[in-house]
Structure 1
């Protein structure tokens, strides 16, 4: 699946597709949004303002990554969640 195909499967909004593709370009061959490792996906997603994975996956995966319940309102401060994630996960 190409990045463009992935984006088009997620949304029909051309502006959002372009924003997603721009975000994806930063990662080159590291296509973490297609990973089978939910902790890996969430670790990288927490660094981005543009959502590349489903929010439900992000929410559940972040709870697994951090080893605690994460309230939806906590996603208003991604930086804080990412700082905590850095202490729990170190991707190879």
Structure 2
């Protein structure tokens, strides 16, 4: 699978991984099909319940624009300022393009 995936397919994938962060390693990128998706939650403290969700593919460097979100149960947390996020292209909502 290669091509330009829609915002809807990216967001559906985000929601599935959000519900089960352990499935991240086996989930295919909606754009390129690689199993190299990353999801981190940038937080102010390890106890924070909300943060900034960042979701991208390490292979094709596409992903969702970072968004304020609750931290997924079992999701990877990074204290703000310690995160390493590559420069990647945002998949935008069709209504915003």
Structure 1 length as normaliser, TM-score?
A: 0.26
Structure 2 length as normaliser, TM-score?
A: 0.25
Bigger proportion of residues as helix:
1
| Greater RCO structure (CA 8 Å; 6+ sep) | 2
Bigger proportion of residues as strand:
2
